[in-house]
């Protein structure tokens, strides 16, 4: 997900957005020059949690240069979760949300971390062991989609797992493929009576994965109170989706879109006009 400090809501957002794009391009140019080219793992601490990160990938480099990763979103998540809760992390990467969530829910709670890239899943697993959280986190090393058992390819642009995404049946058959799962399938045998929160960031396939959670989202008592999602129109279009599709999907299950400002959720009246890429869908009370 994207740091909320990069989001503009002012009336002159068009000018600010143009400036943001220039600054982002300059940052990426500088980053690509100075960051390591070869796979490099380092151990770091973020807010008291030990993480193993890839120094040569964009997420790891952001942590190295800023000392944190999406602190507002993670703080809000930790404040939402309580001991005994269950959290779903769809697109867990190396565990930057899964690990603090596991600390928040404690030994009586549980975290399901979906991460199909083996090297990221390994870092998450090792980090969980370093923090004494291995018994709280269940790794699901398959991409979440709207059907189970589909054979797909994981594309890793430039070798950077921060931007990996799923490709479907038209992908190169000569490449290594992996089977999909649905969220409902994974939760079928779970004893968790309540899923408190879900985070989903899978580079455009968000709606596919959410369609595979129909049973969960249809159960008002068990469904998440909040769903945190990164939504980028360019990435959604990879799968024939747009922001209107996502907004309509969530309204069907009685969720409303919000953005996070500090520690406060503020409603988004029109998702298509919002400049935010990090959206928190909150379930309305019946």
Residue 175: the pLDDT is 62
Residue 3: the pLDDT is 41
Domains detected in the chain:
68-283 (3.40.50.150)
Residue 169: the pLDDT is 54
SS3 at position 167: strand
Contact 165, 203 (CB under 8 A): yes
Indicate the pairing of strand 255-261 with strand 49-54.
unpaired
Provide the token pair at 28: 């990426």
Residue 16: the pLDDT is 44
Residue 248: the pLDDT is 96
Contact 164, 176 (CB under 8 A): no
Contacts of 38 by beta carbon, 8 Å cutoff, 6+ apart: 56
Burial label for 164, CB within 10 Å (0-12, 13-18, 19+), is: buried
Residue 250: the pLDDT is 97
Cα(115)–Cα(93) distance, integer angstroms: 6
Residuewise pLDDT in 10s, the chain (286 residues): 544 333 332 333 344 456 656 766 665 655 565 556 677 899 999 999 999 999 888 888 889 888 888 999 999 999 999 999 999 999 999 999 999 999 999 999 999 999 999 999 999 999 999 999 999 999 999 999 999 999 999 988 888 888 888 886 554 555 678 999 999 999 998 888 799 999 999 999 999 999 999 999 999 999 999 999 999 999 999 999 999 999 999 999 999 999 999 889 999 988 988 888 899 999 998 6
What 8-state DSSP symbol labels residue 250? H
């Amino acid at each position: 997900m994207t740091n909320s400090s990069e989001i503009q809501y002012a009336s002159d957002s068009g000018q600010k957005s143009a400036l943001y794009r220039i600054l982002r391009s300059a940052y990426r140019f500088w980053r690509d020059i100075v960051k390591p080219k070869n796979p490099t793992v380092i151990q770091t601490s973020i807010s008291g949690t030990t993480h193993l990160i890839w120094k040569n990938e964009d997420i790891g480099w952001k942590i190295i240069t800023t000392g944190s990763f999406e602190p507002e979103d993670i703080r809000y998540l930790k404040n939402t979760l309580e001991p005994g809760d269950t959290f779903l992390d769809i697109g867990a990467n190396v565990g930057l949300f899964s690990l603090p969530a596991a600390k928040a829910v404690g030994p009586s709670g549980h975290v399901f971390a979906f991460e199909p890239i083996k090297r990221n899943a390994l870092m998450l697993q090792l980090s969980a062991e370093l923090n004494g959280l291995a018994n709280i986190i269940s790794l699901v090393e398959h991409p979440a989609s709207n059907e189970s058992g589909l054979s797909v390819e994981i594309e890793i642009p430039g070798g950077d797992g921060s931007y990996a995404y799923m490709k479907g049946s038209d992908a190169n058959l000569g490449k290594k493929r992996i089977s999909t799962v649905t969220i409902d399938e994974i939760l079928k045998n779970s004893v968790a009576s309540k899923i408190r929160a879900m985070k989903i960031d899978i580079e455009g396939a968000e709606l596919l994965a959410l369609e595979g959670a129909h049973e969960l989202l249809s159960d008002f008592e068990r469904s998440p109170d909040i769903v945190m999602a990164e939504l980028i129109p360019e990435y959604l279009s990879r799968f024939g989706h747009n922001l209107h599709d996502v907004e309509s999907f969530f309204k069907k299950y009685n969720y409303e879109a919000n953005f996070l400002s500090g520690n406060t959720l503020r409603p988004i009246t029109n998702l298509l006009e919002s400049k935010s890429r990090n959206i928190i869908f909150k379930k309305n009370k019946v």
